[in-house]
Structure 1
Amino acid sequence: MEHITLASVRDTPLSVDEVLAAVADPRAGGTAVFIGTVRDHDHGRDVARLGYSAHPTVEAQLRSVMEKVLAETTVPGRPVVKMAAVHRVGELEIGDIAVVVAASAEHRQEAFDACRRLIDDLKAQVPIWKHQAFHDGGQEWVGAS
């Protein structure tokens, strides 16, 4: 059985419903979802626009991170049932969904733990870079998304 049901990086709008459907399972008693959206400010500066770019191997690296999270958050007798993650690349507007991750598990605590670990590790390890343009004319690149 495949526990990682969706691992995608795309330049089209993301669907929370798609991610929820990807982790739905009759064995799951809990599902946790994180939705990251583009905000209008960062570190006290007004954001005008934002873009994401990714390394060509991004989906393989995303899957690798997900496999590690799955292995390290599954508790014997209380497994994480399914995980899914999608991240957007390209130019995004304020309020657009940039990332959606979800985990389902037999119990809520494992779903919460896996979902939080997944978004944290995705941001730290998956080669996606954010370019922010500010209303004051400044710009900056931010490491991994």
Structure 2
Amino acid sequence: MSRDLVAHNKPVFDQLHPRIYAVAVGLIAWFALMAWVLFDRNAETSLSLIFVSVLFLVAVLVPWLMSLVWKKYQLPYERHPQQTSFKDWRDGDFAVWGAKLHGAHAAIDVLLPLIAVSFGLTAIGIVFAIVRASM
């Protein structure tokens, strides 16, 4: 009687699911929005926020445009026959430098820094607003 603790025949993916990219863009947009809402108090701050917003815009648009070009000029045998559902991607494995991570763990590893920065800035901004209002 054999009990395998390792699930066999799990799909292995080498690309992140498009929903992971969408969540990452949403977190970057949240960061920029909260920076504008919570820290825009005078003209000097606005100029810095404009530069940071342009930097984020470029950081999001350049990879997105490159992915569009890559998809357009992809060879027919390189295309995936059908889109993978997020549940299948999450339950499968993700190939990372010769190793494999569980899909959900890979998503957490990718999104955790963005989550920490976005919500950390929001928390700092709320504390800043409370302290400023109490003075």
TM bracket (short chain) = under 0.3
Which has the larger share of helix? 2
Largest Rg, 1 or 2: 2
Larger relative contact order (Cα-Cα within 8 Å, sequence gap ≥ 6): 2
Using structure 2 for the length normalisation, give the TM-score.
0.27
TM-score by length of 1: 0.25
Higher share of residues assigned strand: 1
